[in-house]
Structure 1
């Protein structure tokens, strides 16, 4: 923390001190949504307050807002379902369920239904 910087410090004074240290802070106006994509799903922040801090050639983003996690949806192509049906003789419902359980892996789904 900067000397003399307390809770009641003027934001303009803080910006001036940051500027002296070569740190620039920029607010992104009218940000509507921030999406962070992960292997497990997406983290979505609606109407966020977004700031960029630039220091020594590096941009650091600060995002404030209410986040919600949306799990990744597995998309099973119809042709994969038909192939599993043809190979195993099961219904489309059973083939799709096996593909979902196998994370879309055709060979694994066929093996599971064949045993």
Structure 2
């Protein structure tokens, strides 16, 4: 993460320093990650290692694994549900019931809590941004 040769800091010391700076690091258990590109291609990672870094409310996800490519819309072993929709920031990875337009209720709650907006406003912002949490939050702030 910091430095080049891996001979730098002890991982425990690194985690302790990051904690002192207000940065929390956790592992996220996921079976698959899908990235949909604007050109219609999808990159997917089976059984990736995911690290979530929360620096004062700004979450950063690091996905480590071997990306495979496929045409968008083809399901490589999933039931058609997007991994992006089924996993969200701060959840245990369990998707709750979806409301209108397939937006997970957990996503609506996250946007509403982060912005102070009503759930209806949060759902509308998520629908306008195609379910993108970060963009919906920015739009409402």
Which band: TM-score by shorter chain? 0.5 to 0.7
Give the structure with the higher percent strand.
1
Cα distance between partner residues in 2 of 1:21 and 1:13? 12
1:37 & 1:9 partners in 2: Cα distance?
A: 35
Bigger relative contact order (CA 8 A; separation at least 6): 1
Tell me what 2:132 maps to. Answer: none
TM-align CA RMSD: 2.2
Supply the distance in 2 between the matched residues of 1:41 and 1:8 (Cα, whole angstroms): 38
Report deviation, 1:71.
2.2
> Residues 45-93 of structure 1: CA distance to partner in whole angstroms, max 9, x if unpaired?
01100010000210000000000111236xxxxxxxxxxxxxxxxxxxx
- The DSSP-based 3-state class of the residue aligned with 2:54 is strand
Listed as ranges, the gaps of 5+ residues in structure 1 are: 74-115
- 1:1-115 residue pairs with structure 2 within 5 A? 1=2, 7-29=7-29, 31-39=30-38, 40-72=40-72
Give me the TM-score of the superposition, normalised by structure 2: 0.45
Aligned residues: 70
TM-score by length of 1: 0.54
How far does residue 18 in structure 1 lie from its aligned partner after superposition?
0.2
Larger Rg: 1
Question: Runs of at least 4 residues of structure 1 off by over 6 A?
Answer: none
